[in-house]
């Protein structure tokens, strides 16, 4: 049984002694920086974690960014430091041959056009996936200048009048809400505590300050599977790196 862990207590609530189980924890203790609140929550559950680790039929697989893992506060979670797989290390990073094989799976014959600089770029598998959905650009330019490619997409949207700017505004809201924009926030009339955020974001994106949440929700729907995904009624970018691009581009 594979169990995605959405909150620390899930690991306690779904653990069944002696049953083959893999717990998957994504972005443990914070997506970009270590969260003191999450660290404390996991600290409270360390006895349960130790019990699960001791169970030979159970595994815990967790991921986080390197800066979170290296945070001094993360040292408090001793069981999570015992076995590290750094995918950026020379021992575990993908070889050129492996990257070419990945490219052939995602982008087929176009993979032959990749030069060595493109193959050695960061987050190569992610770019293969993104290129598969955006293969109307020069492949080597996409792999070496991804930031500029996505900036170009947003610039193109900006030229498409109100419709395009509404799409940009919906993406900006994703950034403002740290890549966790709840669908509920876009429902109904704007509440008093929402109005300032909504009006300021619309104005910054070149829209009328009176633009409705309904219009932005409709714009967001058109971006699903291209820029964003929707899971558990939460909008987020398709990939964390895409979120990074959007955050940098809109600064």
Asked if pLDDT for residue 146 goes beyond 80, the answer is no
| pLDDT attached to residue 109 | 74
Could you give the count of Cα atoms lying within 13 Å of 43 in the half-sphere of its Cβ?
10
Would you give the distance in Å from CA 66 to the centre of its chain?
15
Cα–Cα distance, 70 to 75 (Å, whole number): 8
| pLDDT attached to residue 245 | 80
Beta carbons of 164 and 157 less than 8 angstroms apart: yes
| pLDDT attached to residue 249 | 58
Cα–Cα distance, 74 to 62 (Å, whole number): 13
The residue count for the chain: 251
| pLDDT digit string, tens, across residues 203-237 | 999 999 999 999 999 999 988 877 898 988 999 98
The average pLDDT across 1-29 equals: 94
Cα–Cα distance, 4 to 36 (Å, whole number): 22
Confidence of residue 143 (pLDDT cuts 50, 70, 90): confident
Task: Write the DSSP symbol of residue 159.
Answer: T
């Amino acid at each position: 049984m594979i169990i995605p862990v959405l909150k620390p207590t899930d690991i306690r609530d779904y653990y069944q002694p002696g049953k083959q189980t893999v717990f998957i924890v994504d972005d443990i203790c914070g997506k970009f920086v270590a969260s003191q609140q999450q660290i404390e929550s996991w600290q409270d559950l360390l006895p349960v974690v130790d019990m699960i680790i001791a169970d030979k039929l159970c595994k815990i697989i967790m991921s986080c960014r390197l800066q979170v893992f290296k945070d001094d506060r993360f040292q408090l979670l001793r069981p999570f430091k015992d076995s590290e797989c750094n995918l950026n290390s020379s021992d575990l990073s993908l070889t050129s041959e492996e990257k070419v094989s990945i490219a052939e799976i995602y982008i087929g014959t176009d993979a032959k056009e990749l030069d060595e600089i493109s193959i050695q770029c960061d987050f190569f598998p992610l770019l293969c996936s993104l290129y598969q959905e955006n293969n109307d650009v020069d492949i080597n330019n996409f792999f070496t200048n991804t930031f500029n490619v996505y900036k170009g997409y947003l610039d193109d949207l900006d030229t498409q009048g109100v419709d395009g700017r509404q799409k940009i505004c919906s993406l900006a809201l994703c950034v403002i809400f740290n890549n966790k924009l709840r669908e509920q926030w876009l429902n109904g009339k704007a509440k008093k505590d929402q109005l300032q955020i909504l009006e300021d974001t619309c104005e910054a994106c070149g829209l009328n300050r009176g633009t409705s949440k309904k219009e932005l929700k409709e714009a967001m729907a058109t971006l699903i599977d291209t820029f964003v995904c929707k899971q558990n009624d939460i909008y987020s970018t398709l990939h964390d790196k895409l979120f990074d691009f959007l955050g940098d581009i809109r600064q």
